[in-house]
Amino acid sequence: MLRWIRQQLGFDPPHQSETRTVYVANRFPQHGHYIPQRFADNRIISSKYTIWNFIPKNLFEQFRRIANFYFIIIFLVQLMIDTPTSPVTSGLPLFFVITVTAIKQGYEDWLRHKADNEVNGAPVFVVRSGSLVQTRSKNIRVGDIVRVAKDETFPVDLVLLSSDRADGTCHITTASLDGETNLKTHFSVAETSVCQSVSRLESLQAVVECQQPDADLYRFVGRITVTEHGEEIVRPLGPENLLLRGARLKNTKEIFAVAVYTGMESKMALNYKCKSQKRSAVEKSMNTFLLIYLGILLFEAVLSTILKYAWQAENKWDEPFYNQKTEQEKNSSPILKFISDFLAFLVLYNFIIPISLYVTVEMQKFLGSFFIGWDLDLYHEETDEKAQVNTSDLNEELGQVEYVFTDKTGTLTENEMHFRECSINGTKYREVNGKLVPEGMTDDSPDGSRPHLIGEELLFIQAVSLCHTVHISYDQPDCLIGDPFSHSNGFSSNHMEYYASSPDEKALVEAAKRIGVAFSGSSGDSLEIKTFGKLEKYKLLHVLEFDADRRRMSVILQTPSGDQVLFTKGAESAILPFSTSGEIEKTRLHVDEFALKGLRTLVVACRHFSPEEYMDVDRRLNGARTALQQREERLQEAFSYIEKDLQVLGATGVEDKLQDKVQETIEALRLAGIKVWVLTGDKHETAVSVSLSCGHFHRTMNILELLQQRSDNECAEQLRILARRIKEDHVIQHGLVVDGASLSLALRGHEKLFMEVCKNCSAVLCCRMAPLQKAKVVRLFKTSPEKPITLAIGDGANDVSMIQEAHVGIGIMGKEGRQAVRNSDYAIARFRFLSKLLLVHGHFYYIRIATLVQYFFYKNVCFITPQFLYQFFCLFSQQTLYDSVYLTLYNICFTSLPILVFSLFEQLVHPHVLQNKPGLYRDISKNALLSFRTFLYWTLLGFCHAFIFFFGSYILMGEDTTLMGNGQMFGNWTFGTLVFTVMVITVTLKLAIETHFWTWMNHFVTWGSIAFYFIFSLFYGGIIWPFLHSQDMYFVFVQLLSSGSAWFAIIIIVITCLFPDVVKRVFYRHLQPTSTQKSQVLGRHGELLL
């Protein structure tokens, strides 16, 4: 009923259709009972909380954590039953942890609110009631006509209606969306491009029908219906008509466009990605240890309860003369009494679970992540890019990587293309001084002359100059605003610069210009080239855009002579099978030769249409482009129909230079025990050549191949042959090359066999890979029985799925956009920075957090075990050993800062030594510092120290308690305080022994914590506090310190605890030093030499 009412009121559309109808300027139809569709407003909301829901929502999220939930239960138990400790002892630490976390999350959300308000309050101009009105961005509605001026950012997703240019085009940059800085041309339809003033727009009657909001930045399907003189004209709309929120207007004075997607429905907002919750190996170990300690806690509570009732079996202990039972106690249920006692013991021992561990780990990760951004060795001066951290939760995982999966283009290489060679009509050419010289010939023509290309050569270079999506920017942009070809009349072409979404295209167009066929501009449906100075205009009829499935792009042009021709270029596997004429086999041979040299290859072809053929092609393309349903499928069918019966013109070879120090980085990773896989979409000859040049494959390596497998059986047989070869030649190193098709077969039914072959290979190269195949390979290793830690690194949108799949995803700030960086956990400017990120930062983060976790459990075992032992001496009466204030402040104040500072600054080995000796990375691999053996050592050490604290103090005070000079006796609070004092000093000094890298902050917090404990205790016990209803500790600490015997006991017990540890460390360091300890000596010698 409620839904029906909402539908009738227009608040809820009755059916969520697959398309949306947008009435330009919100001129809704007057006839009938039209109910406008309800669209989102234009507010961007990236915040998580509001003032009203912050407290309940934040508390709900925090209590989903097991430790927090456990402590709230303990706190409630303390409130409900008579427990030995005050509810404050559990409540205050819990309140502290939750408050600190809430303040951190609240502050982060306040920053998001602030950023949102700036964006939503930005001034914009919209056309309303026949005039231009200024309003705020958040007030824009779907259907509003928005005016955007030069260099302004688009406030919503808009369909372009008109610009100040006669052809209705505009140039934009999408750097903030995908990082591409090149100018992109967007178009308006001819019927709206004439509406260049507010008055003309006021009379425009148009309706936009388009798909519902979609996160894909490069996909938009729609149509616009313009009514002129009572006649409806329908035009298709695609991505080239859509201006995305966040993009910026360039080289265009102003544009008018209609809002189609607003606020959280804009493509930019739909691409806001909540990072997938990746959990590090350390966090998983921490949770396992917590469960073990929970088991210890339950065991101690159950044992104490049983021993209490065993003790009370004797009447003299059940009801001693000094503690008679009340009637209520005598009549109470034994089962309830047992449960009550069990809960009381649970409360008494609950501090064995360290509540502040979570908040300390969170602070350590958050603060520690700044060191990556601050590291000048990870700063790239040329691009002014520093390393950035998107997910601080995985810092320590950088020290555990076993497999690196890397992209090739733009990651190992610069993604800076240089034209080197080409093949035209079966003859190879190279560029020498701006001229094409056939292979085997030298450039002996005079410098001033430029040989004219003829026939096939000229057609090939013209195809390269015309088949692309390159745009031109001029030093004098005003020239572009009037006549786009004005530079041809005296304006030097040297002042123009090419911009392309693909570096390959830019390199080819620039090479064609050097050779003598210069692309010099486009205007609407015209392309202009200068062939050796002679101006030629081609009419652009259709563009068949590039896509990853076809792996080619085409243009259909009308030549100056009036013929229709298709030029296409793409991968050889996407062109040659569809070719029927030209030097196909020679071109295939030349493409393979180029690939062996490490060049990126493209094949160029053409097709000439008769007038009848072109009419059929035009009809098919227009039909597919105006379809609202299954448009992409229909376009693919049309493209396949058109791009056939091709005539091969030739092929190009473009060099992609390797990045600096790639070879050294891969070698360092190999020495660190990390296996490197290269996953690329390039053909296998090119990929193998680059792998050899970058050191991924060695010249001495035996290269095994799993290529062009056509069936499951064939693939399985080949894998068995490879496995046998590896076993027979186990002495030498092996490298494996796999292509995408063979990989699909291998992953389908022979995963185990494939994994076995891969694990016995030193290096693996996968070529002709689709983006999802990259992710599948990473997942295969992630889920294998050994569960190795994987890292994926790439720079393009095609690497995003791999980056998200791996345990650690790293984006390269390259030339292929920012999608990889946005979706990564860490981002660096160059591949060479990976070695320092893993070998130094990863090493440091891991040892810091591993020690932090182990130390936390150790100090809490030291803390609570004396409490358990004390019950044996007080008839399990649940008497607490420590004062409640000490219970509360132990983890919050007395022992928290030294470990936090340690976990931020500790360096076991000097950073230079770690980088120069990659083998040290192996010492911490496979979670070595958090193994069960190490955990057991720290736990048993905690129990040993706790026994020494308790029985050392007991031996001193148990028999003779008259330790005061005046004969006064020590009481139970003095005994507990002595144990606590020894404990605080010992656990702090234990961390000091573990510390290798001392800074002034380490000294300050280590000695300051001990001093703070003494000063606090003197104040707390030396003054009568009016707000405390009982003050058991009054004068206790002063009395304790006034006893020489107590001082003697403190010194003896601390030395007894720590001396064996010091001896063990010295003994092992001299007799069985680890490679890390040997390197520490090297590091010290290096510092002395410096």
For 830-881, write each residue's pLDDT tens digit. 888 899 999 999 999 999 999 998 999 899 899 888 988 888 887 777 788 8
Q: What are phi and psi of 770, to 5 degrees?
A: -85, 155
Round to whole Å and give the CA distance between 327 and 1037: 39
Give the percent of the chain with pLDDT over 70.
Answer: 83
Cβ atoms of residues 869 and 881 within 8 Å: no
Q: Answer left, alpha or beta for residue 876, where phi above 0 means left and psi between -120 and 50 means alpha.
A: left
More confident residue, 989 or 109: 989
pLDDT of residue 182: 60
pLDDT of residue 33: 63
More confident residue, 1010 or 14: 1010
**Helix ranges (DSSP H) in 909-1043:** 911-916, 932-958, 972-994, 1000-1022, 1036-1041
Round to whole Å and give the CA distance between 339 and 329: 14
pLDDT of residue 313: 65
Terminal-residue alpha carbon distance, the chain:
82
What is the pLDDT confidence band of residue 125, given thresholds at 50, 70 and 90?
very high
Round to whole Å and give the CA distance between 926 and 789: 8
Cβ atoms of residues 47 and 116 within 8 Å: yes
Q: Answer left, alpha or beta for residue 806, where phi above 0 means left and psi between -120 and 50 means alpha.
A: beta
Round to whole Å and give the CA distance between 1026 and 343: 31
Q: For the segment 562-592, what is each residue's pLDDT rounded down to a tens digit?
A: 889 999 998 888 888 888 888 888 999 998 8
Residue 819's H or E segment, with its range, is: helix 819-822
Question: Taking residues 891-919, what's their average pLDDT?
Answer: 87
Is the C-alpha dihedral spanning 135, 138, 144, 146 positive or negative? positive
Q: Can 407 be counted among the known catalytic residues?
A: yes
pLDDT of residue 947: 92
pLDDT of residue 488: 37
What is the pLDDT confidence band of residue 893, given thresholds at 50, 70 and 90?
confident
Is residue 13 pLDDT above 70, yes or no?
A: no
Is residue 395 pLDDT above 80, yes or no?
A: yes
More confident residue, 628 or 375: 375
Round to whole Å and give the CA distance between 512 and 495: 17
Give the 3-state secondary structure percentages of the chain, helix then strand then coil, rounded to 5. 50, 20, 30
Is residue 293 pLDDT above 90, yes or no?
A: no
Closest CA to 741 of 766, 708, 772: 708
- What average pLDDT does the structure give for the chain? 80
pLDDT of residue 257: 93
- Other CB atoms within 10 Å distance of the CB of residue 436: 22
Q: For the segment 750-783, what is each residue's pLDDT rounded down to a tens digit?
A: 788 888 888 888 888 888 777 777 888 888 888 8
Which residues have CB under 8 Å from 227's CB, separation 6+? 205, 206, 233
Select which of 144, 341, 407, 883 is catalytic.
407
Fill in the amino acid letter for 177: L
Least confident of 152-161, 189-198, 357-366, 985-994: 357-366
Residue 208's H or E segment, with its range, is: strand 206-211
Question: Taking residues 354-379, what's their average pLDDT?
Answer: 84
* pTM (predicted TM-score): 0.71
Q: For the segment 595-623, what is each residue's pLDDT rounded down to a tens digit?
A: 777 777 889 999 998 989 899 988 888 88
Round to whole Å and give the CA distance between 368 and 349: 32
Round to whole Å and give the CA distance between 507 and 497: 12
Q: How far is Cα of residue 631 from the mean position of the Cα atoms in its chain?
A: 33
Structure tokens at 298: 């339950």
Is residue 987 pLDDT above 90, yes or no?
A: yes
Is residue 391 pLDDT above 90, yes or no?
A: no
Least confident of 328-342, 360-374, 749-763: 328-342
Dihedral angle computed from the Cα positions of residues 473, 478, 479 and 483, in that order, rounded to the nearest 10 degrees = 110
Round to whole Å and give the CA distance between 728 and 219: 52
Cβ atoms of residues 141 and 42 within 8 Å: yes
Cβ atoms of residues 733 and 762 within 8 Å: yes
DSSP state of 841: I
Least confident of 311-320, 625-634, 689-698: 311-320
Cβ atoms of residues 550 and 495 within 8 Å: no
pLDDT of residue 329: 59
Round to whole Å and give the CA distance between 341 and 81: 10
Angle, vertex CA 817, rays to CA 813 and CA 823, nearest 5: 70
Q: How many CA atoms lie within 13 A of 847 on its CB side?
A: 22
More confident residue, 181 or 929: 929
More confident residue, 826 or 1032: 826
Question: Taking residues 924-932, what's their average pLDDT?
Answer: 82
Q: For the segment 511-549, what is each residue's pLDDT rounded down to a tens digit?
A: 988 888 888 887 767 888 888 888 888 988 888 887 756
Is residue 454 pLDDT above 80, yes or no?
A: no
pLDDT of residue 566: 92
Residue in the structure block whose two tokens are 């309706």: 207
Is residue 478 pLDDT above 60, yes or no?
A: no
What is the pLDDT confidence band of residue 275, given thresholds at 50, 70 and 90?
very low
Question: Max CA-CA distance within the chain?
Answer: 123
Is residue 412 pLDDT above 60, yes or no?
A: yes
Cβ atoms of residues 899 and 855 within 8 Å: yes
1011 burial type by CB count under 10 A (0-12 exposed, 13-18 middle, 19+ buried): exposed
633 burial type by CB count under 10 A (0-12 exposed, 13-18 middle, 19+ buried): exposed
More confident residue, 856 or 270: 856
Q: How far is Cα of residue 919 from the mean position of the Cα atoms in its chain?
A: 27
What is the pLDDT confidence band of residue 1008, given thresholds at 50, 70 and 90?
very high
pLDDT of residue 717: 86
Question: Taking residues 331-339, what's their average pLDDT?
Answer: 72
pLDDT of residue 135: 92
Q: Spell out where 500-592 has E strands.
A: 517-523, 526-531, 534-544, 552-558, 564-570, 579-581
DSSP state of 966: T
Which residues have CB under 8 Å from 567's CB, separation 6+? 463, 466, 467, 554, 555, 557, 604, 605, 606
Closest CA to 262 of 457, 438, 43: 43
pLDDT of residue 787: 84
